[in-house]
Structure 1
Amino acid sequence: MDSSLQYPPDTDLRKLLRFERGSGAIWLGERRMLLLHTTALSALRKDLITSVGTAHTRRLLTRMGYASGLHDAEFANKTRGDRSLEDMFLVGPQLHMLEGAARVTPLHLKMDIAAGHYEGEFRWDDSWEAHAHRLAYGVTDEPACWILLGYASGYTSAFMGKLILFKEVKCGACGHDHCHIVGKPIEEWSDGEAYRPYFEDDSLLDKMDALSQQVEALKTRLEPSTSGGMLIGSSPAFQQAHDLMLRAANTQVTVLLTGETGVGKERFARALHAHSDRASGPFVAVNCAALPAELIEAELFGVEKGAFTGAHAARAGRFERADGGTLFLDEVGDLPMAAQAKLLRVLQDSEIERVGAESARKINVRVVTATNVNLEDAVAQGRFRRDLLYRLNVYPICIPPLRERLADIEPLANHLLARFTALHNKRLNGLGDRALQALMHHDWPGNVRELENLVERGVILATQGATVEVEHLFPNMPASRQDGVDEQGRLAHIVPADSAALCERIVDSGVPIEELEAQVLAMAVERCDGNLSGASRLLGLTRPQLAYRLKRQQSGEAST
């Protein structure tokens, strides 16, 4: 491809730029954006140069731009994947202008992806980076648009599948009236290898991250990890519950885990077992609510041969299977009263009696129980033994719901993403910004279990190599009120496509708005069989508002 380039209309990009009134967030498609003062960025550059020197600052900022360019190449493919290569490639320069980075004028472009050939020249006017550098240091001898150059290299490299190096042959920071950049494969530059370190993963931050990972790896060898990788969280509510679990782990105290459905009570029980001196023994989990009432005693305590019809052989129960380890009784509040009496004896005497047996058996089992109901209420209603409650409630741990652990949602989601990408053999670029925001604002009635389900669904629905977006997690999420940028660069309310199409049909119909309103009101009332409360909910009105509109319509008809 070789052309004197002409930009395609950027209407498609402007439509994707949204200003969300409710949250104050700015979005470009599914990616969260940010408006920053150039003076703040200039101060950051200056502090970095002072702290780590010019060379390393250049490397850091170049890699920052490079990473941004790689992501924008994916965005370009998603936005204009059905257009020509030229139109798709020009998303990058047009985004630079839309985001205020510089005014970009294409001068020369040749691209042949199959052959690996690339030549590109662009003019930048009003580069923010050149301006910021010149404000801090005056006119310099060396080009200074490091972030923008890194962006151009990352963006083009993603298209070409090989490293494309851009250089500034003119820079506003050097006193020129504009910047001029030239790009071609790094091996075609005579000094290209000198620039390769700017794009390699050996920066100071990368080294610090690698050292941090090595330290964490060593720590996991020296001591048990937080629940063996089962529990993740740093929020105060989670840490309080986690600390209580660790304190109880190496004792023999009976622990009662409470909390809403899906908060991870079994994970806490497993973590308690993993940190205890019983970790080498078995961990047996029983959901008491899932066992039929007539079979629960046999399941828990075992059965002797011939104890009842169908008992053709003796069989050990869950308590015996857990001997030397931990037995976790989930939904313990659903145990029948007879089983509660036997459980109380186990806790008091450390022995069980199989159904149909004439003698007891000694066992060495630590019992951990869990419930999502209020056992005090169950006692008051006669459904649970008070003496058993006293035995179980020696050491209660209340696990907080996910909505009270906002700081834990993102690390939990990323941990689950890593697990499910491995499970489903997917390679993904993480969770999108809007997806993460949606997770943070969800009320989580199903807690961590619901988060697991959402992330797994997102992994399955996301395209290989892409990002998990909000529509993969919440397919039916309604659009929030947003503003965008019109052709004149002004903020304007963005009407959803389906709403805009409906409005067009209404206008084209020629039906007077009063008549249309009367028809809509009548239809809503008819659908709800004359129930005004139901009709008002259907229309998004209060009942008085609907009554007023209906009265107004009737008054209008009477006056005619």
Structure 2
Amino acid sequence: MRKTPPAKTPRISLAEAARETGGLLKKGRVDQIAPGHHPTMADLTESLFFSPGDGRIWLNDQRMLLLHSSAMGHLRRELIDTLGRERARGLLTRAGYVAGARDAQLVRERWPQGDTTTVFMAGTRLHALEGIVKVTPVSYDFDIDRGTYEGEFLWEHSSEDDEHIEAYGIGTESACWTQVGYATGYVTSLFGQLVIFRELDCRSMGAAVCRVVGRNASAWGDVREDLRYLEAKDFRALAAASPPARATLHAAPPPPVAAGEGPGQARTAPAATAGGRHEIVGASSAFNSACHQLARVAPTQATVLFTGESGVGKEVFARRLHRISRRAEGPFVAVNCAAIPDTLIESELFGVERGAFTGASVSRPGRFERADGGTLFLDEIGTLSLVSQGKLLRALQEGEIERVGGSKTVQVDVRLVAATNVDLLAEVEAGRFREDLYYRLNVFPMHLPPLRERRDDIPLLMNHFLQRECARHGREVVGFTPRAVRALLGYAFPGNIRELQNLVERGVISAEEGKAIDVPHLFRREQLSDETLLALGASGHLGRPASADPQHLHGLLRDALGTEQLSLDALEARLLRDALLAHEGNVSAAARSLGLSRAQFAYRLDKQRPAAAAD
């Protein structure tokens, strides 16, 4: 049967919690966990709803699954036996990370005014509610301003241990891989910088209970081993599988990974640009999917077409594709087609002979010749004129080019990688792009999702850019304030990863030395509206601006309802109806916009319908 949603529990704001705990808004300790602070275990339990009639289970507005532990154990054994222990551990750790990040998102959205310490501890309660493990905090201390996190926890009745011991018995290594990923994902998403958890004792090693410790990455020092399991793909291993790269990888040891680098980053090859400018970072499902596609096509000679909005990282993925391909020892040549005038594009791509035109005093090779034996990346290819498109098509089909003003052909061996932020098929239909060139480029299309569709990666990217920009500008900034984290996680990012990078760089420059980055350091008034900035407030939670006039508010409500008499029932009905209309009937989205769970929204909607029928 479907569980009836409870009435909304009164919440204690961060400001109220601060008064009760000595004013600690950005700090927390295990002895500050008060039983009445939200979200409590009861709050979390009341967010779980069963709908057997339509075959769905909900945790707030997120769909859940009820699976046999033995079935998950069987899947675990299949992964270990098929892929090997290390790869299986990586897959399960990353799956746990995504689950933790999603639960952090749930808690952030459902209890935006919850006590900071209790919000952090909600992950332990959710882990227990979801039947994974019982978590008991031993010690717990964090300070967001200083960027420090230290927590020790005991795990009892671990389902992963049960299944691992059943299959392999007691061994010498820990086995709670998914749970470690979950803890890392949950705390990292809330803290705003990378927090690494390690399992020091495990039942699979013969201990009575499992013991884990979490610290911010810089406190651990060397976290290369931890990051290895959070990487979406071991790109060095892929490169080692290709014959041309094997000797190089054995001849030189891999470069170290800095402690602050985020999960999902492939290690920098020797030819990479200094400062890690072209690292790819992430652990979300969308990011993993893109990395797996990249790994599949890299060893081939196929033309790759990257599509996606501006700033999603198309050139970064193109460089990574080159670095893990059989052409890694050859050159990578990038051309921004939109930055070259149409009158010069032919000479830039194909080269020019001396005397071909006024000013051509010397012969010089074009980008095709410079990329011979390597990869040629054509960015914003949709901006090429039809004439330039025809010449490019011939070069791709024939594998040879002629310099401007020259009479002999030059054979070139180039792998073409292209990128565009426009719909090329729509451009073909509009007559602005050649259909034959489109099909020549569209051999292996790869769509890179916008940042708003891979929000699980935002904390990792924040940490990555923070470490990089601090090193580049010689600044020491300890992290982000809670409201800065909340603002970044809720921001739409029309400029995608490039915009996030620029915001973090601005924050590093604007923040005080040794302090955390706050909202004013990140955003300017043209990016966040006055209402949004005021709603974030000094306490870090969303709320009505203090300057709002209650009489003006009452007038607006009366105008909206079309009556002089204000009725709570009428106001609630109007809010529910408008939310549904605004989200085109999507109940989950409408519920989120009102700060309700899906089940609570449906319950309130059903309660309104009899009254409407009676009218």
Shorter chain as normaliser: what TM range?
0.5 to 0.7
Q: What's the CA shift for 1:411?
A: 0.5
Which whole-Å CA distance do the structure 2 matches of 1:74 and 1:272 have between them?
Answer: 34
**Paired amino acid for 2:112:** A
**Paired amino acid for 2:266:** T
Aligned residues: 356
In the alignment, is residue 404 of structure 1 matched against residue 449 of structure 2?
Answer: no
Structure 1 residues 382, 481: CA separation in 2 closer, same or farther (over 3 Å shift)? closer
Which whole-Å CA distance do the structure 2 matches of 1:258 and 1:452 have between them?
Answer: 20
In the alignment, is residue 226 of structure 1 matched against residue 261 of structure 2?
Answer: no
**Paired amino acid for 2:113:** I
Q: What's the CA shift for 1:470?
A: 2.1
| CA offsets 1:313-349 (integer angstroms, 9 cap, x no match) | 1111111111111110001111112211111111111
In the alignment, is residue 308 of structure 1 matched against residue 357 of structure 2?
Answer: yes
Secondary structure of 1:422 counterpart: helix
Partner in structure 1 of residue 166 of structure 2: none
State TM-score, norm by structure 1: 0.54
Partner in structure 2 of residue 354 of structure 1: 403
Q: What's the CA shift for 1:32?
A: 7.3
Q: What's the CA shift for 1:355?
A: 0.8
Q: What's the CA shift for 1:457?
A: 0.6
| CA offsets 1:60-117 (integer angstroms, 9 cap, x no match) | 51xx34xx4x668999xxxxxxxxxxxxxxxxxxxxxxxxxxxxxxxxxxxxxxxxxx
Partner in structure 2 of residue 520 of structure 1: none
Structure 1 residues 541, 449: CA separation in 2 closer, same or farther (over 3 Å shift)? farther
Structure 1 residues 211, 332: CA separation in 2 closer, same or farther (over 3 Å shift)? closer
Q: What's the CA shift for 1:216?
A: 5.2
Partner in structure 2 of residue 433 of structure 1: 482
In the alignment, is residue 213 of structure 1 matched against residue 224 of structure 2?
Answer: yes
Partner in structure 2 of residue 389 of structure 1: 438
In the alignment, is residue 317 of structure 1 matched against residue 366 of structure 2?
Answer: yes
> Are the equivalent residues in 2 in contact too, given 1:253–1:394 (CA < 8 A)?
yes
Secondary structure of 1:262 counterpart: coil
> Are the equivalent residues in 1 in contact too, given 2:333–2:371 (CA < 8 A)?
yes
Structure 1 residues 299, 548: CA separation in 2 closer, same or farther (over 3 Å shift)? farther
Which whole-Å CA distance do the structure 1 matches of 2:356 and 2:457 have between them?
Answer: 50
Structure possessing the higher radius of gyration over alpha carbons: 1
Which whole-Å CA distance do the structure 1 matches of 2:510 and 2:537 have between them?
Answer: 28
> Are the equivalent residues in 2 in contact too, given 1:15–1:484 (CA < 8 A)?
no
Q: What's the CA shift for 1:479?
A: 3.9
State TM-score, norm by structure 2: 0.50
Q: What's the CA shift for 1:241?
A: 1.6
Structure 1 residues 240, 543: CA separation in 2 closer, same or farther (over 3 Å shift)? farther
> Are the equivalent residues in 2 in contact too, given 1:435–1:468 (CA < 8 A)?
yes
Structure 1 residues 210, 343: CA separation in 2 closer, same or farther (over 3 Å shift)? same
In the alignment, is residue 414 of structure 1 matched against residue 425 of structure 2?
Answer: no
- Partner residue of 1:296 out of 345, 361, 371: 345
Structure 1 residues 541, 320: CA separation in 2 closer, same or farther (over 3 Å shift)? farther
Sequence identity, in percent? 46
> Are the equivalent residues in 1 in contact too, given 2:375–2:414 (CA < 8 A)?
yes
Partner in structure 2 of residue 364 of structure 1: 413
Alignment of 1:490-505 (within 5 A): 496=545, 499=547
Q: What's the CA shift for 1:23?
A: 5.3
Q: What's the CA shift for 1:215?
A: 6.4
- Partner residue of 2:112 out of 1, 21, 25: 25
Which whole-Å CA distance do the structure 1 matches of 2:135 and 2:562 have between them?
Answer: 68
Q: What's the CA shift for 1:34?
A: 3.4
Which whole-Å CA distance do the structure 1 matches of 2:21 and 2:478 have between them?
Answer: 24
Which whole-Å CA distance do the structure 1 matches of 2:506 and 2:125 have between them?
Answer: 40
Secondary structure of 1:252 counterpart: coil
In the alignment, is residue 238 of structure 1 matched against residue 287 of structure 2?
Answer: yes
Alignment of 1:118-517 (within 5 A): 213-214=224-225, 226=266, 228=268, 230-476=279-525, 477=528, 478-479=532-533, 481=535, 496=545, 499=547
Runs of 4+ displaced beyond 2 Å: 9-24, 31-37, 70-75, 203-229, 474-485, 493-497, 540-549
Secondary structure of 1:34 counterpart: helix
Secondary structure of 2:418 counterpart: strand
Which whole-Å CA distance do the structure 2 matches of 1:406 and 1:386 have between them?
Answer: 35
Which whole-Å CA distance do the structure 2 matches of 1:377 and 1:404 have between them?
Answer: 23
Which whole-Å CA distance do the structure 1 matches of 2:368 and 2:146 have between them?
Answer: 58
Partner in structure 2 of residue 34 of structure 1: 119
Q: What's the CA shift for 1:354?
A: 0.7
**Paired amino acid for 2:464:** H
Which whole-Å CA distance do the structure 1 matches of 2:108 and 2:388 have between them?
Answer: 57
Structure 1 residues 230, 16: CA separation in 2 closer, same or farther (over 3 Å shift)? closer
Secondary structure of 2:316 counterpart: helix
Q: What's the CA shift for 1:390?
A: 1.0
Structure 1 residues 13, 457: CA separation in 2 closer, same or farther (over 3 Å shift)? farther
Q: What's the CA shift for 1:250?
A: 1.1
Which whole-Å CA distance do the structure 2 matches of 1:427 and 1:441 have between them?
Answer: 26
> Are the equivalent residues in 1 in contact too, given 2:479–2:516 (CA < 8 A)?
yes
Which whole-Å CA distance do the structure 2 matches of 1:204 and 1:548 have between them?
Answer: 59
Which whole-Å CA distance do the structure 1 matches of 2:484 and 2:458 have between them?
Answer: 12
> Are the equivalent residues in 2 in contact too, given 1:323–1:365 (CA < 8 A)?
yes
Which whole-Å CA distance do the structure 1 matches of 2:488 and 2:543 have between them?
Answer: 24
Structure 1 residues 357, 416: CA separation in 2 closer, same or farther (over 3 Å shift)? same
Which whole-Å CA distance do the structure 2 matches of 1:407 and 1:21 have between them?
Answer: 13
> Are the equivalent residues in 2 in contact too, given 1:21–1:481 (CA < 8 A)?
no
Which whole-Å CA distance do the structure 1 matches of 2:391 and 2:354 have between them?
Answer: 20
Which whole-Å CA distance do the structure 2 matches of 1:73 and 1:289 have between them?
Answer: 44
> Are the equivalent residues in 1 in contact too, given 2:331–2:373 (CA < 8 A)?
yes
Which whole-Å CA distance do the structure 1 matches of 2:238 and 2:146 have between them?
Answer: 43
Which whole-Å CA distance do the structure 1 matches of 2:544 and 2:227 have between them?
Answer: 49
Q: What's the CA shift for 1:27?
A: 6.8
Secondary structure of 1:226 counterpart: coil
Which whole-Å CA distance do the structure 2 matches of 1:240 and 1:73 have between them?
Answer: 35
**Paired amino acid for 2:224:** Q
Which whole-Å CA distance do the structure 1 matches of 2:419 and 2:361 have between them?
Answer: 33
**Paired amino acid for 1:26:** Q
Secondary structure of 1:250 counterpart: coil
> Are the equivalent residues in 2 in contact too, given 1:25–1:32 (CA < 8 A)?
no
Structure 1 residues 271, 543: CA separation in 2 closer, same or farther (over 3 Å shift)? farther
> Are the equivalent residues in 1 in contact too, given 2:144–2:479 (CA < 8 A)?
no
> Are the equivalent residues in 2 in contact too, given 1:258–1:396 (CA < 8 A)?
yes
**Paired amino acid for 2:284:** S
Which whole-Å CA distance do the structure 2 matches of 1:494 and 1:252 have between them?
Answer: 55
Secondary structure of 1:397 counterpart: strand
- Structure 1: runs of 5+ lacking an equivalent: 1-8, 76-202, 486-492, 504-512, 518-539, 550-560
Q: What's the CA shift for 1:412?
A: 1.0
| CA offsets 1:190-216 (integer angstroms, 9 cap, x no match) | xxxxxxxxxxxxx96579967863465
> Are the equivalent residues in 1 in contact too, given 2:145–2:516 (CA < 8 A)?
no
Q: What's the CA shift for 1:26?
A: 2.7
| CA offsets 1:103-161 (integer angstroms, 9 cap, x no match) | xxxxxxxxxxxxxxxxxxxxxxxxxxxxxxxxxxxxxxxxxxxxxxxxxxxxxxxxxxx
Partner in structure 2 of residue 160 of structure 1: none
